[in-house]
């Protein structure tokens, strides 16, 4: 598994920052290599430093999104190459979540068109290509080119639940017998559209976001990429597993395009289905990594759902105070954080959670914890359109101690 | 895999109000926008024609299958998705005052059709939105088959792309002008064949070689712009199902190692 984001350019850097409680959020003016020119205040979670261009052969696919994705992919390549040797290139799927796709490149192209006359003779730069840069599936196509994979390939783009839902697609395709493994993950990059859009909705915070706090004032936007290699369980993979994906729950609010159902009904259904799919109960859960965006509505509705499914005592954290809301990459990042927590039994503090909101009646950890056993972690991702997903991830030790688990895969 | 059935088909495109109209050659130039009856009109304010095409194709297929729109799983799949809405928003950012309409922004996400469809029908079951370029129909079919194989019930695949708006309409494939015409198709996959199944899916296979898009009777009805639409990759399967043909039918064409369905009589 791998992670790239505002907390670090590698998985080791990112997880070290998480363990130490260091945020990656900064004012946009401090960023290197990215000009957002925002007419309003906020902080963002940007990948630090310059991003390497793609290799010459893949130049047509070059976007900020693709560069971030290739950084994260490089870390999982040795594991992926071993999986290709074992399963074959047609038995491994490429399933990626994104909400922005290559919108950063399209914005640059559109800006050039507008500055050269717009509808009155404006020119889109000759190097811009809609199919290889803007198209959501350009990511999947690029990963296939780079890795040689030939299994099922698609992008899930259900806004902020995208890269949670790819895990469910992988398990289903395994159960159908089409694949033995899947490269799953999520990639999103900063762009003006999302920042202006959330500002227009009135839920973009001027300052650092404060998930679950009484004085929370909305989200920060972040970028990043996360990957996991999921493999079918057998004796060999059982011995090598870093973590287990026990099951995934998905649901639809059927309520409103941008606001959660106020009682958390859809969130609750997704969590319940994750428990059922994983063959576990609330008593098995040692941590919940919440969607926890820091909007007034999300955090209350989500906490009601958590309390209803897991009760008031299970430790709850949001990692948005570290990364910002990575939108299409949020689910994948949470999944890696969950795998890290069950492996190390370290739970980071929920950054920005104080002062506590009395309407949030769950056990949000304002301080980190490193004693005790996590065992199983749930992680939530919710989205525009009322799309909800919850992953159940367990440590290898927990799985060995509980012989009967769901039809999951290992990561 | 468990036996699965195709129980409903649909098509909507400008000029073609239904699959029946399409196969009978009853082109009607007055058909310009999709009615999308399963989403109340108040929810469709600020939506794109693509969103309405998604809903119309899904609704027609589910109605043809006689399934319940309140419980059917919905899988929307498209190459460029809500690009019309995105261009409107970019224009506000780069040529306007930068104040984006909340309604337009909400409707710019790739899963706008998915969200509005579930809200319109009060459907809290599974829904997703996929993209796989020219192979978007194939991706939707694999997701639907895997889903119904996993949990039973019914799933509708709605595959659609609309025309690409200026100024991005001429920047695909190295700047070659390739007009893309709007087209949407729907297909329902069911675990229960019901009384009038259209075909039985015995197996999903992966073919060794890429297959060219075959010349079929439907081709005479399609423009070159329709052929560039990922939804057109569904039509050989539609033809096979409607003619009751058994055997292997690919789900993607001019693509490496495509997936295919083994169809048998019901």
Q: Which of B121, B128, B204 sits opposite A158 (nearest CB)?
A: B128
B residues 207-236 near A, CB within 8 Å? none
User: Mean pLDDT, 10 residues at a time, over chain A (411 residues)?
Assistant: 98 98 90 80 95 94 96 98 97 98 94 95 90 93 97 98 98 98 98 97 98 98 98 85 97 95 97 97 98 97 98 98 98 98 98 96 95 96 97 96 64 65
Q: Which residue of B has its CA nearest to A150?
A: B257
Helix (H) or strand (E) holding B161: strand B154-161
Provide the domain limits for residue A328: 2-101+136-400
**Residue A155: inside a domain:** yes
Question: Looking at residue A406, what is its pLDDT?
Answer: 47
Bridging pattern class, strands B199-206 and B259-264: antiparallel
The residues of A that are catalytic are 160, 291, 325
Q: Identify which of A114, A165, A177 has the shortest CB distance to residue B94.
A: A114
> Dihedral of the CA atoms A50, A54, A59, A60 (nearest 10)?
-90
User: Nearest CA to CA, how far is B126 from chain A (Å)?
Assistant: 6
What tens digit of pLDDT does each residue of B136-188 get? 999 999 999 999 999 999 999 999 999 999 998 866 555 555 677 899 999 99
Question: A with B: how many residue pairs have Cβ under 8 Å apart?
Answer: 223
Return the CATH number at A380.
Answer: 3.40.47.10
Least confident stretch, A406-410, B117-121, B242-246: A406-410
Higher pLDDT, B221 or B262: B262
Q: What is the pLDDT of residue A234?
A: 85
**Res. B225: pLDDT tops 90:** no
Across the interface, do A137 and B131 touch by the CB < 8 Å criterion? yes
- Alpha helices, DSSP H only, in A21-161? 64-87, 103-115, 138-147
For A289-302, give the DSSP string: E------HHHHHHH
* pLDDT (tens digit per residue) in A250-279: 999 999 999 999 999 999 999 999 999 999
Asked if residue A200 belongs to a domain, the reply is yes
Q: Determine the residue of chain B that is closest to A111 in CA distance.
A: B94
Among A106, A54, A116, A103, which residue's Cα sits nearest to residue A221? A103
Share of chain B above pLDDT 90, in %: 85
Residues of chain A with Cβ-Cβ distance to B171 below 8 Å are 109, 124, 128-130
Taking CA atoms, what residue in A is nearest to B72? A252
- Which chain B positions have a beta carbon within 8 Å of A138's beta carbon? 133
Q: Does B47 touch chain A (CB under 8 A)?
A: no
Residue A115 within any structural domain of the chain:
no
> What per-residue confidence (pLDDT) applies to A200?
97
Indicate yes or no: CB of A137 within 8 angstroms of CB of B135: yes
The answer to whether residue B217 scores a pLDDT higher than 70 is no
DSSP A80-118: HHHHHHHH-GGGEEEEEE-SSTTHHHHHHHHHHHHHTTT
How many Cα atoms are found within 13 Å in the side-chain-facing hemisphere of A14?
A: 28
Of A366, A212, A380, the closest CA to residue A299 belongs to A212
- Calculate the alpha carbon distances from A276 to A122, A166, A171, A172, A240 in Å: 55, 18, 14, 15, 26
Binary contact (B142, A152; C-beta < 8 A): yes
ipTM for the complex shown:
0.96
Q: Is B167 on the interface with A (CB under 8 A)?
A: yes
Residue B109 near chain A (CB below 8 Å)? yes
Phi, psi of A107 (to 5 degrees): -65, -45
Whether A112 is in a domain gets the answer no
**What per-residue confidence (pLDDT) applies to B173?**
53
Classify each residue of A216-232 as buried b or exposed e, where b means 16 or more C-beta atoms within 10 Å of its C-beta.
bbbbbbbbbbbbbbbbb
User: Looking at the domain assignment, is residue A110 inside a domain?
Assistant: no
Fold of B4-198: Peroxisomal Thiolase; Chain A, domain 1 (3.40.47)
pLDDT band for position B258 (50/70/90)? very high
Q: For residue A121, what are its two tokens?
A: 């003779």
Q: Which of B2, B30, B3, B1 is nearest to B15 (CA)?
A: B30
Decide which of B94 and A403 is more confident: B94
- State phi, psi for A267 to the nearest 5 degrees: -65, -40
**Hey, are the CB atoms on A385 and B145 less than 8 Å from each other?**
no
Report the chain B residue with the minimal C-alpha distance to residue A152. B139
Return the pLDDT at A13: 98
A contact test, residue of B84, B118, B229 with most A CBs within 10 A: B118
Task: Domain ranges for chain B, please list them.
Answer: 4-198
Residue pLDDT, tens place only, B37-66 = 889 999 999 999 999 999 999 999 999 999
Establish if B81 touches chain A: CB-CB under 8 angstroms: yes
Total domains, chain A: 1
Q: Which residues from chain A sit within 8 angstroms of residue B91, using beta carbons?
A: 110, 114
pLDDT of residue B94: 97
Q: What are phi and psi of B113, to 5 degrees?
A: -65, -40
Q: Which of A151, A200, A295 to mutate to test the interface with B (most CBs of B within 10 A)?
A: A200
Interatomic CA distance for residues B45 and B223, integer angstroms: 30
């Amino acid at each position: 598994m791998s992670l790239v984001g505002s907390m670090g350019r590698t998985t080791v850097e990112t997880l070290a920052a998480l363990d130490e409680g260091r945020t990656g959020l900064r004012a946009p003016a401090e960023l290197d290599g990215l000009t957002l020119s925002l007419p309003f205040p906020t902080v963002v979670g940007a990948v630090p430093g310059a991003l390497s261009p793609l290799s010459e052969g893949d130049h047509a696919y070059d976007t900020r999104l693709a560069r971030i994705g290739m950084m994260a992919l490089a870390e999982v390549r040795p594991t992926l190459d071993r999986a290709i040797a074992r399963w074959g290139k047609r038995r491994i799927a490429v399933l990626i979540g994104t909400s922005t796709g290559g919108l950063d490149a399209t914005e640059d192209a559109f800006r050039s068109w507008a500055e050269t006359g717009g509808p009155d003779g404006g020119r889109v730069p000759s190097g811009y290509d809609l199919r290889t840069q803007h198209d959501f599936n350009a990511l999947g196509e690029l990963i296939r080119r780079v890795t040689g994979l030939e299994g099922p390939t698609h992008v899930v783009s259900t806004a902020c639940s995208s890269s949670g839902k790819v895990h469910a697609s992988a398990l289903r395709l395994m159960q159908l017998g089409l694949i033995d493994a899947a490269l799953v993950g999520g990639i999103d990059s900063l762009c003006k559209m999302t920042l202006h859009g959330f500002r227009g909705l009135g839920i973009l915070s001027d300052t650092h976001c404060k998930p679950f706090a009484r004085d929370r004032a909305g989200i920060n936007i972040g970028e990043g990429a996360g990957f996991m290699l999921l493999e079918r369980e057998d004796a060999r993979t059982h011995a090598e597993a870093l973590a287990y994906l026990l099951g995934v729950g998905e649901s639809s609010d059927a309520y409103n395009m941008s606001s959660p159902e106020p009682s958390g009904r859809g969130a609750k259904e997704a969590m319940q289905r994750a428990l059922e799919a994983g063959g576990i109960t609330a008593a098995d859960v040692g941590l919940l990594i919440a969607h926890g965006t820091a909007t007034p509505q999300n955090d209350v509705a989500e906490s009601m759902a958590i309390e209803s499914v897991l009760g008031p005592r299970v430790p709850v954290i949001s990692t948005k105070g570290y990364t910002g809301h990575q939108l299409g990459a949020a689910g994948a990042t949470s999944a890696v954080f969950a795998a890290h927590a069950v492996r190390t039994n370290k739970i980071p503090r929920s950054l920005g959670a104080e002062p506590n909101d009395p309407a949030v009646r769950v056990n949000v950890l304002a301080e980190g914890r490193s004693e005790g056993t996590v065992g199983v972690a749930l992680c939530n991702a919710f989205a525009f359109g009322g799309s909800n997903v919850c992953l159940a991830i367990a440590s290898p030790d927990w799985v060995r101690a509980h012989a009967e688990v769901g039809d999951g895969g290992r990561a | 895999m468990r036996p699965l059935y195709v129980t409903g088909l649909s098509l909507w495109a400008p000029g073609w109000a239904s699959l029946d109209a399409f196969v009978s050659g009853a082109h009607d130039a007055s058909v310009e926008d999709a009615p999308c009856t399963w989403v109340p009109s108040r929810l469709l304010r600020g939506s794109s024609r693509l969103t309405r095409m998604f809903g119309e194709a899904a609704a027609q297929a589910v109605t043809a299958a006689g399934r319940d729109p309140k419980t059917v799983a919905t899988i929307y799949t498209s190459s460029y998705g809500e690009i019309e809405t995105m261009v409107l928003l970019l224009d506000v950012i780069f040529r306007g005052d930068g104040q984006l309409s909340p309604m337009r922004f909400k409707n710019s996400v790739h899963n706008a059709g998915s969200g509005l469809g579930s809200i319109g029908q009060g459907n809290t079951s599974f829904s997703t939105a996929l993209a796989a370029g020219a192979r978007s129909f194939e991706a939707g079919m694999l997701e639907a088959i895997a889903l119904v194989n996993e949990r039973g019930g019914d799933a509708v695949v709605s595959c659609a792309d609309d025309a690409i708006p200026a100024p991005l309409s001429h920047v695909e494939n190295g700047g070659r002008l390739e007009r893309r015409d709007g087209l949407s198709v729907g297909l329902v996959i069911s675990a229960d064949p019901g009384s009038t199944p259209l075909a039985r899916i015995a197996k999903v296979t992966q073919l060794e070689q890429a297959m060219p898009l075959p010349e079929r009777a439907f081709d005479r009805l399609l423009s070159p712009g329709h052929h560039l639409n990922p939804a057109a990759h569904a039509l050989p399967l539609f033809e096979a199902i409607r003619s009751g043909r058994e055997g292997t039918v690919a789900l993607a064409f001019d693509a490496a190692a495509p997936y295919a369905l083994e169809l048998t009589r019901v």
